[in-house]
Structure formats: structure tokens, C-alpha cells
Amino acid sequence: MIDRLADPTSASWYEASARARIDGLLDAGGFREFVGPEQRRMSPHLPLFDLPRAFDDGMVVGEGILDGRPVLVAAQEGRFMGGAFGEVHGAKLVGLLRAARQRKPAAVLILFDTGGVRLQEANAGETAIAEVMRAIAEVRALGVPVIGLIGGRAGAYGGGGLIAGTCSRLAVSESGRISVSGPEVIETNRGAEEFDSRDRALVWRTMGGKHRRLTGGADAFADDTVAAFRAAALNLIGRAPAFDLATLEAEQARLEQRLARFGDCREATEIWSRLGVNDPAAVPATTASAFDALLSGLGETTHDAR
Amino acid sequence: MNEWRRERAAREARIEAGRAQVEGKAEGKVVPADRVVALLEAILRPGDRVCLEGDNQKQADCLARGLVQCDPARVHDLHMVQSGVVLPEHLDVFETGIARRLDYSYSGPQGARIARMLYGGQIELGAVHTYLELFARYFVDLTPNVALIAGVSADRDGNLYTGPNTEDTPTVVEATAFKNGVVVAQVNEIVDRVPRVDIPGDRIDFVVEADKPFYVEPLFTRDPAAMTETQILIAMMAIKGIYAEYGVRRLNHGIGFGTAAIELLLPTYGERLGLKGEIATHWALNPHPTLIPAIESGWVRQVHCFGSEVGMDRYIRERPDIFFTGADGSLRSNRAFCQTAGLYACDMFIGATLQIDLAGHSSTVTQSRVAGFGGAPNMGSDPHGRRHPSDTWMKAGREAGGVGDPSLMRGRKLVVQLVETFGDGLVPTFVERLDAMELARKIGLELAPVMIYGDDVTHIVTEEGIANLLLCRDADEREQAIRGVAGYTEIGRGRDRAKVEELRGRGIIRRPEDLGIEPLDADRSLLAARSIKDLVHWSGGLYEPPAKFRNW
């Protein structure tokens, strides 16, 4: 083997596979996978469509240690069917969250990388989304924070975007995207004048990590490295909100306020401008450290409303 | 009237008719955009040969819209002679009868429609040319009567600044203006003084201020984020098994992901092999964004360009030691010269294709599309007119089996096809019979549109290995060498195993392990840039990628 060029501490989260993300995120050597690929629990539906299957159905779940404390982890493999939720894929995440009710880990980490529900097994996928959201509510109610990490190629779209909305805290990188309807879906339904899906700068301004962080849709902004996501996860576990009526009411109030304040904006840059960003057009090109400095100057981007 | 000056007199009559149409509205040679149709109807004659400048990047789109609106009763049966048939308007003129006959080179996005129109008899086709052939015929038997061209700016005397995308313009104007033709240029703006004079004003008869800037297509941007490990493996084999072995310094790259991967491996994998300064120093190449890391790490000595690339202008301006730039600082490209450079002054062409047959003929034609030719056929051919030696050229010549007195030996240009055994949608790259042949039969072409002929191809590189066709001594060996790298395609599975092993023993076929390459090392972490944003960083913020390539 020749030496790898990439320094492991600076390895890209965006580039990494689901397993490589888990490897770099957790303390070394402590990960134990549940229903691993050797068990070959594959999709029962894909063969009907003559589509290839994956031994892990694109979802890796298990337990491990993060900075000395036990955590449960789920990671979606965005390179298999765009990380989409199918029956087995979804059931593994539901099972992990149900296990969290008994085990009470320090946190459950969900490494999103998904375009949403797999069309070939849509009913099972949609059901899984609903079950996951219910299970997250139950886990959070028991005081276990559920942290979402979003920086993969597929982002967190469709049901993945909904699930992200139920997490205690979210960390996102610049290339991470969070939304429900994807750019192509919006364009197909409302036309290119409404949303030009090929204008990728527009897509990222509207759904990308920086925008989500600026508007408080995500709670931490991470550089695109595995190390940065580990640091963000540790930080977010420490400041997860309580899951009670007061939190939910505050969230509702903030969402209403957001709508009143930005509802007439036609462009993300208008929102940023109203937030107090002096040079909105320069935001997409800023580095992570400059962006952090910008955030600290705004002082109102940390709240629980998504 | 002197009978030797009939063309000159005709030209003067056209210009006079054109001026009459814009009387009182023109300032110097400048014609307002709303008089384009009247101007064209006045200067065009039925049956004229017309070049409506369409390159593979830059388009005279305002003039194209004007031509389509001309009255077919006045302007008809034109013979279009242009390298690119790219805009819908380029074909609309055939539907209304404004144009009838076509000689061209490249039709990329209009490939499917052109095939239908040829089949339906709406277009009378002369031939599909390589660029240099068409340019050559401009000076022999396809000289335009009228050229409709595009530039960035002009002054009132018609001095023209073509900007970084000069492309075909000087060639088209040369042929038209010096043989009694009429030249109309559309420009984005009229200025008091152009940044530099690319075309002197006395070759331009009318200047139209376009309603919007001419369209340029980003054709040469490959997003590193989309590069696969298979492409990286193929690129590693090419660098180690071909670039290093033949010491290839002067070269042209195609526009595929495989060659883009090579560009991104030079500063990493190439550096580790100790090849810096030994390979890939002098280029005939468009300003590929993926070449930025190699340029920034000192691999590249100079690059001459056919055209430019969207977003690269500022970077090029700041790297005049590498690129050809004008006194104003911006890129000067020239398709005819760069094609000539690629043909005669480069020792290697390397690029991808869609189909390869058992003789090594390749084509990018599918049954329903006539995409025409890009730069590949000129550069991917062995120029028999070449006389200057180089180590690379001579080594390839020796491998091809030159006999007799060495001083009478001829070298060979390396023509390398870089392909995955299965292309998009798992369509096999290797085929028994090219779709181009079926298409030619269907629409009655005398010649099948072959991109690169088998006898010009020297190497085929796939994820399974390298086939060196120079070392093959007969047709059977060539066929087995091709089958031997064709993987799990029908062609690959039809190989004679014993023969393929024998070829491998003779070094005609080389597997990754024969080259000391471990396929598992073909990892994206080897790429000097893994995203468009990385390229922006490499360029020090000078590269400004178009919105469709951004993810920030």
C-alpha cells in the first residue's frame, strides 16, 4: 500500500463512507454494530425492480464510545440509493431508537445522508419515517439527547428532513443541506422560474448549511472534516434542550416570529440582510472560521426553532 | 465592368444594399439590433454560402435569431458552412427553407434533431468534417459569401475584440473578408477603444450591438466531486504505464472524467512517482479548471487554448507565464492554430469515447444522434506530415515495428483511448459493430462518422489494463489485445484466454499488478482537488465557477 495523502484528522466528512464517518467520530475501537452486513438483512423489495441490494441496506447502526461515554449511532450510506429510507433501512433506525429507551446512552447520534424515502418501497419507508419521529420523541422525553449530523452528499431531504426537525440539536457543514422537497421536485411542480434546480448557488443559499445555521435551523456549523463533526457532536450533547412543554411552546413562538419577520423575503440573502449580515452576497464564499465570527456577531441564531 | 472583378462588384452591391437599410440609423459601421433582419435580407442572396458562427462554446446568437426571422421568399437555399450546429436556430433555418445545404463539424446538443432532419430530407448534407478540414475548405471550395460572427466589443470602425473565446473567428474572417465576402459581427458592446484588436476593422463590414451578451457554454468543467475510483485507477495506469514510460511532455487531453482525473493526480500520484518536469509540461488544451492544481504546483510550462472556459478568465489573466494572453491581459485563443498544434506539435492525444470495435475504431455516435466531431479526430490521428523527432514519438515508432535504416524510420504519435468497459447506464463500450455504421446506412452517409480510426489508436486503457496496439503484429493480435482489456462485456468474455495470456507475457496487455499498481490504492483521497471549491482554493480565489457547478 502507498501512503494515503489524506491526514486522518482532516479527512472530509462529505467524502467519507458511513462506516468511515463512524470510525472517525467515535473513540477508536469501541464500535459494535447491530444487524451488521454479515447478517445480510437486505431489502425484500428491490429484487422486484431488478435493482442491486446492499448487505446493510445502506444503514449502519450500533453502539460505541464518544469521549469516554456510551452512545448509540446510526449512519446512512448516501452512496447506496442516495441513502433513501426503505423497509430494512428504516427498521434498523427505529430499532436503535427503541433500544435507547432501555439503555439510556449519553446520546443517540444520527449521521444523516438521505434523499428521503425510497420510491421502490415507499409505504414501508414512509411508515419508518413516522416511527422514527415517534421514537425520537420518546427517547428525548427520557432525557437522552438525539443529535443529528448533516454533511453528506445527499443532505437530509424528504422524510430525513422531517426527522432532522425532531432531533434535540443539529450540526451541519457548508455542503450539508436540509429540506423536505428537493430542488428538482420544486422545479418540477412550480417551474424553473420559482426554483431553478440547476442554479446550485441558489440551491445552497436556500437549503445549504450556512443558511440553515444562520436562521437557527441548525445549532452548530462544522468544517467539512470528521474531526470537526466530532467536536460539534460533543458540544451539542452538552447543551441539548429539555424536552418539555416550555421548550415546545418557545419553539412554536419562535417559528411564528420567524414567519412574521421573513415571510415576505424572496431570497435567502434578504433574510441574511435582515438578520444583520452586512454583506450577504459574500456569505457563501466565507471560510468556516470567518463564518463562525459572523455568527457570534449576530447573537440570535441559536434557538430551537427549525 | 472588368470580368475579373465580378465578385468584388457583387460585394460592393451587397454592402450598399445593407447600408441603405440602415440609412440614418447607423453610426459608422454600427447597426442597431432592431435592424438586423433588414440588414441580413439586404446582404444575403439565395444560394449564398454562409458561416453563422457557432463554435463549440461561443455563439453568434443574436445574428442567428435575426437570420431565422428573414423572409424565406427573399433569403432561401443558403449553404451553411460553420463548425458548430449548436443552437436551435441553426436548424430552424432548414425548416423554413432559408437554408438547404449544410457542411459542419460539431453538433453536440442538436445531435438528435440533426439526425431526424437528415433522415427526413430537410437538410442536404455535404459532409461532417473535422475542424481543420472545414477550416481548410473555407480557403478552397467552401469560402463563405457572408460571415456572421461574434465578439465581445467593437469600436465604430469595426475593430473587434473577441475576448478570451476567440475560437474560430480569425479563420472565418480571413476566408470571407479576403475573398470578396461580407462580414457582420455581433458584439456585446460598442466602445470608444477596444481592449485589443483581435480582428482589424477593415475586415468587418457591419457591427451589430447585440440585445444580450453572446452565450458561452461551460463545456470543459469536470466536477472533481463526481470522479469515481474506477476513473482514478484508469488514470493511475495511464500515468505510470504511458506518460512515464514514453516521457510524454507535449500533449492534448480530451474532455472526459478520466483525463480530468489524470490532471488532478499529477500533483499527488505523479509527484510521488518523481515525474514532475518529466511529463505533461506543454499543452494544447482549453483552460480546464481541473488543471489548476498542476499549474499551481509547477507542473505546467505552457498551455495554448482552442477557446476559453467560463469562470477561468481572472485566473488566466494572473498566469500569463502559462497561457497565451494579449497586451490587455486576457486570453487569446485560436481554434485553428491550437488544432494544428495538437496535430503536429503534440506527442500524445488521450481521450475517451463511447464505442470501440474489434479493430479499434471508435465513435461517439449512437443510433439516434449525429454529434459530429470535436477536436479528437485531428489530434487523435498520426500526422504523416510530421518530420521533427522527439523521444516519445521515436519510441512509439520503434514499437510500431519500423524496419530498415533508422534514419528513414518514422515515429508515431500516441493516440490513447481511456474508457471504462461499461459506460453510463451500464452500456458496454466495446462492440462488435459501431452504431455509427448503422446510422450511416440509415441516413445515406458515404462514410460512417468514425471519431478515431483503429490504425491511429496506439493504446486502450480500461480498468482491466492497458492494451498496447503498437506492439501487435497482425489483426488477430489486435483483436485479442482489445478483447483482453474489455472486461465483462460480450467482447471481453469472447477472448481467447491462452492468446491473451501470451500477449500479457509480451507486455502487449498489462494489468494493474504488472504496473505495480494496487487497485485498492485508487482512492479519492489521491485527487489534488475533490470538489469545485477545492479548485477555487487552489486558484487563490481567481477561478469563478458557474452557478451550476457550485455547492456552497
Give B428-477 as a DSSP string.
Answer: BSB-SS-HHHHHHHHHT-SS---SB-GGG--EEEETTEEEEGGG--SHHH
What number is the average pLDDT over the span B91-105?
96
Do B365 and B353 touch, CB atoms closer than 8 A? Answer: no
Give the start-to-end residue ranges of the domains of chain B: 7-209, 224-536
Nearest to B264 by CA among B305, B233, B235: B235
Q: B547–A200: do the CB atoms touch at under 8 Å?
A: yes
Cα of B490 to nearest chain A Cα, Å: 20
At B374 the pLDDT is 81
| Cell 440570535, located at residue | A300
Q: A285–B552: do the CB atoms touch at under 8 Å?
A: yes
Q: A5–B548: do the CB atoms touch at under 8 Å?
A: no
At B101-159, the pLDDT tens digits run: 999 999 888 988 998 998 888 999 999 999 999 999 999 999 999 999 999 999 999 99
Instruction: Count the Cβ atoms, other than its own, within 10 Å of residue B399.
Output: 17
Cα of B267 to nearest chain A Cα, Å: 11
At B1 the pLDDT is 53
Distances (CA, A) of B65 to B45, B52, B89, B93, B94: 18, 11, 6, 10, 13
What number is the average pLDDT over the span B245-257?
96
Reported confidence tier of residue A135, pLDDT bands at 50, 70, 90? very high
Task: Tally C-beta pairs within 8 A across A and B.
Answer: 47
Give the three cell numbers for residue B246.
514514453
Interface test with A, best of B534, B548, B549 (most A CBs within 10 A): B548
Q: Which of A5, A11, A200 sits opposite B549 (nearest CB)?
A: A200
Q: A175–B552: do the CB atoms touch at under 8 Å?
A: yes
Residue A4 has pLDDT above 80, yes or no: no
| Contacts (Cβ under 8 Å, ≥6 apart) of B144 | B49, B50, B51, B81, B138, B172, B175, B176, B181
Interface test with B, best of A200, A207, A214, A226 (most B CBs within 10 A): A200
Reported confidence tier of residue B459, pLDDT bands at 50, 70, 90? very high
- For domain B224-536, say whether CATH 3.40.1080.10 is its number: yes
Q: Which of B521, B530, B548 sits opposite A200 (nearest CB)?
A: B548
Q: A200–B551: do the CB atoms touch at under 8 Å?
A: yes
Residue A301 has pLDDT above 70, yes or no: no
Residue B192 has pLDDT above 60, yes or no: yes
Which residues of chain A neighbour B521 with C-beta distances below 8 Å? Answer: 1-2
**Residue % of chain A over a pLDDT of 70:** 94
Q: Which of A1, A199, A203 sits opposite B521 (nearest CB)?
A: A1
At A169 the pLDDT is 95
Q: Which residues of B423-448 are buried (b: 16+ CB within 10 A; e: fewer)?
A: eeeeebbbbeebbbbebbeebebeeb
> Which run of H or of E encompasses A295?
helix A288-298
Task: Give the residue with greater pLDDT, A297 vs B462.
Answer: B462
Residue A296 has pLDDT above 90, yes or no: no
At A1 the pLDDT is 33
Q: A1–B268: do the CB atoms touch at under 8 Å?
A: no
Residue in chain A lying closest to B271 (CA): A5
Which residues of chain A neighbour B268 with C-beta distances below 8 Å? Answer: 5
Residue in chain A lying closest to B545 (CA): A201
Residue A274 has pLDDT above 50, yes or no: yes
Which residues of chain A neighbour B520 with C-beta distances below 8 Å? Answer: 1
Give the three cell numbers for residue B411.
515515429
| Of the listed ranges A14-18, B81-85, B108-112, B325-329, the one predicted with least confidence | B108-112
Which residues of chain B neighbour A223 with C-beta distances below 8 Å? Answer: none
At A149-170, the pLDDT tens digits run: 999 999 999 999 999 999 999 9
Q: A5–B526: do the CB atoms touch at under 8 Å?
A: yes
Same fold, B7-209 and B224-536: yes
Which residues of chain A neighbour B530 with C-beta distances below 8 Å? Answer: 12, 15
Reported confidence tier of residue A7, pLDDT bands at 50, 70, 90? low
Q: Which of B530, B550, B551 sits opposite A15 (nearest CB)?
A: B530
Alpha helix stretches (DSSP H) within B32-110:
36-43, 61-68, 88-95
| Of the listed ranges A71-75, B310-314, B402-406, the one predicted with least confidence | B402-406
Which residues of chain B neighbour A202 with C-beta distances below 8 Å? Answer: 547
Q: At what angle do helices A268-275 and A200-207 cross, to 10 degrees?
A: 40
Give the start-to-end residue ranges of the domains of chain A: 18-243
At B108 the pLDDT is 81
Q: Which of A5, A6, A174 sits opposite B552 (nearest CB)?
A: A174
| Cell 500533449, located at residue | B251
**Mean of per-residue pLDDT scores for chain A:** 92
What number is the average pLDDT over the span B41-48?
97
Q: Which residues of A208-218 are buried (b: 16+ CB within 10 A; e: fewer)?
A: bbbbbbbbbbb
Instruction: Tell me which residues of chain A have a C-beta less than 8 Å from any C-beta of chain B.
Output: 1-2, 4-6, 11-12, 14-15, 153, 174-175, 198-204, 208, 210, 284-285
Residue A300 has pLDDT above 70, yes or no: no
Reported confidence tier of residue B369, pLDDT bands at 50, 70, 90? confident
Predicted TM-score (pTM) of the model is: 0.86
At A213-245, the pLDDT tens digits run: 998 899 999 999 999 999 999 999 999 999 999
What number is the average pLDDT over the span B39-61?
94
Interface test with B, best of A4, A9, A15, A199 (most B CBs within 10 A): A15
Which residues of chain B neighbour A208 with C-beta distances below 8 Å? Answer: 551-552
Q: Under CATH, which architecture does the A18-243 domain have? A: Alpha-Beta Complex (3.90)
At A304 the pLDDT is 55
Q: B521–A285: do the CB atoms touch at under 8 Å?
A: no
Pairing of strands A69-76, A59-66: antiparallel
| Contacts (Cβ under 8 Å, ≥6 apart) of B317 | B325, B329, B330, B331
Residue B330 has pLDDT above 90, yes or no: yes
Which residues of chain A neighbour B526 with C-beta distances below 8 Å? Answer: 5
At B521-552, the pLDDT tens digits run: 999 989 999 999 999 999 999 999 998 888 78
Side-chain-side CA neighbours of B152 within 13 Å: the count stands at 17
Residue in chain B lying closest to A206 (CA): B552
What number is the average pLDDT over the span B284-305?
98
Q: A204–B550: do the CB atoms touch at under 8 Å?
A: yes
At A5 the pLDDT is 43
Residue A116 has pLDDT above 80, yes or no: yes
At A260 the pLDDT is 94
Cα of B259 to nearest chain A Cα, Å: 21
CATH superfamily membership of B7-209: Glutaconate Coenzyme A-transferase (3.40.1080.10)
Cα of A138 to nearest chain B Cα, Å: 35
Q: A15–B524: do the CB atoms touch at under 8 Å?
A: yes
At A185-215, the pLDDT tens digits run: 999 999 888 899 988 899 999 999 999 999 8
Distances (CA, A) of B228 to A20, A65, A156, B257, B433: 17, 32, 23, 9, 28
At B62 the pLDDT is 95
Residue in chain A lying closest to B541 (CA): A285
Instruction: Tell me which residues of chain B have a C-beta less than 8 Å from any C-beta of chain A.
Output: 225, 268, 272, 518, 520-521, 523-526, 530-531, 541, 547-552
What number is the average pLDDT over the span B392-403?
92
What number is the average pLDDT over the span B75-100?
96
Nearest to B33 by CA among B269, B203, B274, B214: B214
What number is the average pLDDT over the span A105-119?
97
**Residue % of chain A over a pLDDT of 90:** 80
Residue A245, burial from CB neighbour count under 10 angstroms (0-12, 13-18, 19+): exposed
Residue A74 has pLDDT above 70, yes or no: yes
Q: Which of B268, B520, B531 sits opposite A5 (nearest CB)?
A: B268
Q: At what angle do helices B88-95 and B61-68 cross, to 10 degrees?
A: 20
Decide if the complex's ipTM is over 0.85: no
Q: B521–A2: do the CB atoms touch at under 8 Å?
A: yes
- What whole-number distance in Å separates Cα of residue B271 and Cα of residue B273? 5
Which residues of chain B neighbour A14 with C-beta distances below 8 Å? Answer: 531
